[in-house]
Amino acid sequence: MAYVIAEPCIGTKDTACVDACPVDCIHPKKDEEKFGSEEMLFIDPVECIDCGACVPVCPVSAIFAADDLPDKWADFTQKNAVFFGR
Ligand code: SF4
């Protein structure tokens, strides 16, 4: 299981989660080339250690444990994984 970033991140890309993540598994970061072209941020499902540290810092409540992801955003599990080629 991993945490998933969902629809509220689109157009937000706050990046507070990037700073909160202890294993640096949220991308693209501000200094990465894809930050400008991607509409949201993603969590690497392989590297995520399920610590939950990113959840409370998100200003738009876009991050969910996989089990708690609302059904309407179910496709975001794959969207996050695809960004990392998973
Ligand atoms: Fe990073 Fe923890 Fe959030 Fe996973 S749950 S993305 S490891 S801060």
Q: What is the mean pLDDT of residues 24-48?
A: 98
Count of domains forming the chain? 1
Helices (H), the chain: 16-20, 76-83
Using the Cα atoms of residue 9, residue 21, residue 83 and residue 79 in order, give the sign of their dihedral. negative
- Which CATH number is 24's domain given? 3.30.70.20
pLDDT band at 65 (very low <50, low <70, confident <90, very high): very high
The closest-lying atom of ligand 1 relative to the alpha carbon of residue 63 is 3
Rounded to whole angstroms, the Cα distance separating 20 from 37 reads 23
The closest-lying atom of ligand 1 relative to the alpha carbon of residue 26 is 6
Query: Taking the complete model, does pTM exceed 0.85, yes or no?
Result: yes
The rounded mean pLDDT for the chain is 98
Range of 26's domain? 3-83
Residue 1 pLDDT > 90, yes or no? no
Residues in the chain: 86
Q: What is the mean pLDDT of residues 18-47?
A: 98
pLDDT of residue 42: 98
**Cα of 75 to ligand 1 centre, how many Å?**
19
